[in-house]
Amino acid sequence: MAELLTRKIAIEYRDRAKHLPSNGLQDIGDRRKLRMELQNRCGLTELEAINILNGFHIGIYVEIAGKRNAEIIQDAREDGNCG
C-alpha cells in the first residue's frame, strides 16, 4: 500500500530535485527515476509527481492525497473491512 503524501515528503522530493541538473525540467535520467520513486511511494499520477518535483501545487496535492485516503477509509468502513 502506498504511503500517504505529506507536505514533508513533497518538500523532501522537491529539494532532492533541486540538486539535479535541470535539463529544461525534462523527465529524463535521474529526474525521471526520482519522479518514479515518488509516484510509487505515494501512489501519485505522473503529472502530480512531476509537479511536486518542480515545486508546483504541493499544498493542493497534499490535500488531494488526504481526501483520497479519507475516502478509502470510509469505503472500507462501509464495506465492513475496517474498525
Count the Cβ atoms, other than its own, within 10 Å of residue 49: 24
Strands (E), 1-83: none
Burial class (CB in 10 A: 0-12, 13-18, 19+), 43: middle
Would you say residue 82 has pLDDT above 60? Answer: no
Per-residue confidence (pLDDT) for residue 73, from 0 to 100: 86
pLDDT band at 83 (very low <50, low <70, confident <90, very high): low
Predicted confidence at residue 64, as pLDDT, reads 95
**Residue 81 scores a pLDDT above 70:** no
79 burial level (CB within 10 Å; 0-12, 13-18, 19+): exposed
pLDDT band at 47 (very low <50, low <70, confident <90, very high): very high
Report pTM: 0.87
